[in-house]
Structure formats: structure tokens, C-alpha cells
Amino acid sequence: MCGIIGVVAKSPVNQVLYDGLQVLQHRGQDAAGIVTAEGNTFHMHKANGMVRDVFRTRNMRSLKGNMGIAHVRYPTAGSASSSAEAQPFYVNSPFGIVLAHNGNLTNSEQLKEELFQQDLRHVNTNSDSEVLLNVLAHELQESSNNHKLNAAAVFSAVAGVHRRCRGAYAVVAMIAGYGLVAFRDPYGIRPMVIGKTETESGTEYMVASESVAMDTLGFQLMRDVAPGEAILVEQTGEFYSQQCAMNPKYYPCIFEYVYLARPDSVIDGISVYETRLYMGESLAEKIRLTLSPEDIDVVIPIPDTSRPSALQLANRLGVTYREGFIKNRYIGRTFIMPGQAMRKKSVRQKLNPIGIEFKDKNVLLVDDSIVRGTTSKQIVQMAREAGARKVYLASAAPPVRFPNVYGIDMPTRQELLATGRTDDQIALEIGADAVFYQDLDALIAAVTKANPLITHFESSCFNGDYITGDVTPEYLAMIESNRNDGNDDDKASVSTRQLDLNLSSAES
């Protein structure tokens, strides 16, 4: 999960891109980057850290031009500690191209070998996004006529990317002196929307990971980019779109609606907020089969993502809803923090209980999901220390039992609390009196209810069904082995020895 934005405007885009990244900060807190285009020249600044920390006034002044792309990184493939893997990435052959990517390629090792042996291209980092950039660059070289581009050549190149790349990818790229290209993988796993605004000088276009970026920046949401579709906006403002995949299918990631996306976003015609209300309704009905509402004194959400589900759950059960935890908003989202030690340390810094809401009460805590269980165990303990008589925990999502290989950091079964455990064993592990999980069918029904036109979802972390068809037990064993080889410090020390050829002049 990362956040990406691309803008083609009639005036400088640096502030628009910065503001857009702020809105999408929840999609990645590890690194941020902006590249703008001024004629044939790119201006780049990127570094590790939050958006507000990466960009200073001097950086913003250097980001000149009316076209640009931007990225916030949440580390999946590669290293969380290496500034060399902050995006966007850049190549200068056959055209100057910069690219930002949300997702994860499942055949990046094979592609690296092809790039080196056949395409004669060198990949400098461990990032699969740099692999994707080089594949796109090679396909553009193959499809262009004497290094001259047109819409047909660009769409042919994207079709080549779809033929070669496997996994999840929503991509925004710029070609120097030409325009902005955006495309989505043939399954539409990772989200991407497109919007426009009319100015006195003409139409301006934006592509972004979530519609909330359009809302806050004054762009009108046009539609979602379809699975396999490519969008081309020339720097003059000419707009083109074309389906570039042979057999596209709609399988958006269902975890976007559970946790990843902001509640005020609409993704693939589905209101994220609405789906979370429906999740609360169905979860309430499941809890009613086991617990009487009289056994619960209060429903308390674990902020922030679970609030809509918890509120609707409480309403359906007829139980009092209360805010029992105060969140420190200056601590990042623990699920997307690199490293287990950092996640453990940050939980108590992030949440503090309000004692009167817990003392001598049977408390039903509601969370969006339970992944590793680290956070849940500490929160249950905090509730007990605040005086709760009984602590139940409900998850708006089903048990996470399988690795996700499409851009979410849950790759090893050993790290997943639900793997190999029953609900009673999970409750015992985290210290709760009982644990209640959403059923997968109910979750799918909740999301489908918000848009009946979308009936299939990528839900591999719940059911182990990898829709791209190339994820084998050997592949899963390989990524688990790679993750378990050494600790985060070891990985960082290796990765930071790599050269960063993408530094801006201000950084170097």
C-alpha cells in the first residue's frame, strides 16, 4: 500500500502535489517524493519521512513546472530504511521517465533477470517499482517509432507491461517533454481514480489512489481507472484512454475497505464509509448468536478506522457506544510501521484509555482487523488495567490467516495471529474473554451492498486464493525465508550501501 498522485495543469503543480500527499499520508509514512516537469526537465525531491518533514520551502521552490507526480511509501518489497528506494524512480533511456507505483509485483525476480539478460537494463535497488519502471521503459523503446511517441505507442507499451508483469500495480509516470501516463493492473487490485477541473486556461487532470484527494483539491471525480486501462494526458492537456489488457477482470482488494482507505473515499464506486457501517451490522448479528446484549455494558472502538463499524454494531445490538481511547495523532499507524519492535513500542504511546468508560464494565472492543495480534494484546491489557470486568474483542474483518503478496505487509504465516489457532485460542493469546470475527461471506456482502456491480474481490489474506494464479507454495516459502533472514537492522545496513542515483541536486 502506497499513495500516488499525478497532475497535468495549466499552472505550477508543486503545491497541489504536496497537499495531495498530505491527504494520502495514511497510505504510507515511510518516505515521500515529488517530481515535476518543466518542459523537458525533471525536478525531483524525495527522502525518508512524513510529507511535512520531507519538504521544506527551498525544496518546494525548486519543484517547478505544470505537470508532476508524487508518492508516499509504505514499504513492502525492498527496504524500509533505504532512502534509495523512496519514489518516484527515474531512468533516462530511451526517454526521461519517472514512475511511482502502488502495489507489489510477484514476478520481480524473473523480470530482473530478463531486464539484465535480454533488455540490457540494470536495476539499482531491491524495489520492484524500479523493475516496473525499467520494463515500461523497454516497452516504450520497442513501441516508439525512431524514438517518437504518440498515444498508440504509449498504449502498446502499457500492453507490454501487462503481458510481462504479474501482481498488483497502480502506476503513474511522466515522460519528459511528452506527458503523464497512468495505468492499473488487469485485476484492478490496487485503486486509482481520475478527476478533472475546469480553469480559465483549460482543463486540468489528476489521477490519485483515492477520491478524497480529488475532493480536497477541488477536482471533480470522473471515474475509476478500469482494470488494465491506461490514461494518457499530454502536457498540452490532450486526454486519451484505452484498455490495454487482454482479459481484464474486476477484483479490487477488499482490505482497502476494511482498513487501508480513508472512510471519506469512494473506490470503484463503493463508499468506504458505507461498507464499514454494513460490516458493523453483520458483525452485530453474529455476536448476537453467542452473547446477549445484556452481557455487554459498552461498545468501544479502537480508533480510528473501526469507528463506523463499532457505532453501527452498537446501534444494532442496542448497547451504549462510547469513546474509550484517546489517540495521540502524532504517532503513525502501527500496522504500517516497519519492524515489530517499533510497532510494540508505539501502541501505548498512541492510545490511552479513559478509565471511567472501563471500570467495572463488560466491554466489547471493536477493531477493523486483527493481524499480528501485538496491538490487540496490549489494548486488551490496557482495558483490564483500566478496570474492565470482562473484555471482548470483535474484528470487522475475518481472521487473517494467509500472507498478502499484493502490496500489504503481512507476508509470513508465523507472524499472523490467526494462523493455526481457533477463536478460543486467539482469545487466550491476547487475553480477551472472547473474540468475534466477521465471516468472509458477510464481509463481501457488506462491500457488494454498497455497489452491486462489483461482485469479486482480492481477499487472499483471508482465504488464501491468489487471483493472479502465479503464487505458488514455493514462492510463499521464498518470501517468508527472505523476511526471516536477519533483523531489520541487518536489512537496512545492506540496503543503505546501495547507490541512490535518483537524488535531486538539493539532496546531493
Could you list the active site residues? 2
The neighbouring-strand residues paired with 21 are none
Estimate to the nearest angstrom the gap between the alpha carbon of 354 and the chain centroid: 31
Question: Which of 303, 223, 305, 304 is CA-nearest to residue 272?
Answer: 305
Task: Please list the helix, strand and coil fractions of the chain in percent, rounded to the nearest 5, in that order.
Answer: 35, 25, 40
Distances (CA, A) of 463 to 254, 313, 400: 12, 24, 8
Tell whether residue 305 is among the known ligand binding residues: yes
Q: How far apart are CA 28 and CA 85, in angstroms?
A: 13
Burial of 456 (0-12, 13-18, 19+ CB in 10 A): middle
Q: Quick check: 426 and 373 in contact, CB under 8 A?
A: yes
Tell whether residue 368 is among the known ligand binding residues: yes
Cell output for 191: 485503486
Cell output for 109: 525476480
Which phi and psi (to 5°) does residue 391 adopt? Answer: -130, 115
Q: Quick check: 437 and 399 in contact, CB under 8 A?
A: yes
For cell 478509565, name the residue.
355
Q: Quick check: 345 and 374 in contact, CB under 8 A?
A: no
Q: How far apart are CA 307 and CA 298, in angstroms?
A: 14
Q: How far apart are CA 10 and CA 321, in angstroms?
A: 49
Which phi and psi (to 5°) does residue 370 adopt? Answer: -125, 115
Q: How far apart are CA 327 and CA 420, in angstroms?
A: 32
Q: Quick check: 459 and 406 in contact, CB under 8 A?
A: no
Q: How far apart are CA 275 and CA 457, in angstroms?
A: 14
Tell whether residue 367 is among the known ligand binding residues: yes
Q: Which residues are annotated as a binding site for Mg(2+)?
A: 305, 367-368
Q: Which residues are annotated as a binding site?
A: 305, 367-368
